[in-house]
Amino acid sequence: MKIIVAADNNWAIGNDGQLLITIPSDLKSFQQETLGKTIVYGRKTLQTFPRQKVLSDRENIILSRNENYHEKGAEVVHSIDELMKKLSGHNSDEVFVVGGSSIYEQLLPYCNICYVTKLDREFEADSFFPNLDEDPEWELYDESDEMVYFDTPYTYMTYIRKGTKIQN
């Protein structure tokens, strides 16, 4: 599996249930990367999507502990074991974990690639992603040139789990 996340210099990813910033080119990149693929996320992340609806043209899987939770257009699973059974027939290169912080933490051990939009500033935040720069299991594989959205410089960074073979 792969992860897609936008994080600031402190690895913050959200505040009050919302993304730190919305960068149109980053949203377009997210869409291009995940279109036609499977995305896995938590119930709270759904609330950050446009109109709080599942994303079209993708298989949406929501991980929620609430056994009574249902969402039109999505498969809801209630445990990591149930998720792994659901994903057993999938190509792991086509499964993307897209948030939030609890889901990222639970699924990071199952992922080999993280696509990080690194925001070169610090935001007020209450949810965070694990710091891959300090995690000995991960290494920076690739980094884009710096781009700027208004007053926020950012780069696209690809981290890989050490020992992961990348296919171009």
| Structure-model confidence comparison of residues 48 and 66, the more confident one | 66
In angstroms, the Cα distances linking 127 to 1, 63, 89, 103, 131 are 22, 17, 32, 11, 12
pLDDT for residue 25 is more than 70: yes
Of all residues in the chain, what percent carry a pLDDT higher than 90?
A: 92
Residue ranges of domains in the chain, CATH in brackets: 2-161 (3.40.430.10)
Rounded to the nearest integer, the mean pLDDT of the chain is: 95
For the stretch 82-118, pLDDT in tens is 999 999 999 999 999 999 999 999 999 999 999 999 9
Asked whether the beta carbons of 62 and 75 are under 8 A apart, the reply is yes
- Report pLDDT for 122: 97
- Report pLDDT for 116: 98
Average pLDDT over residues 72-87: 96
Of all residues in the chain, what percent carry a pLDDT higher than 70?
A: 99
Sequence-distant (≥ 6) Cβ neighbours of residue 39 within 8 angstroms: 55, 58, 59, 60, 61, 95, 96, 97, 98
Report d(CA 32, CA 108) in Å as an integer: 22
pLDDT for residue 167 is more than 80: no
Average pLDDT over residues 50-62: 94
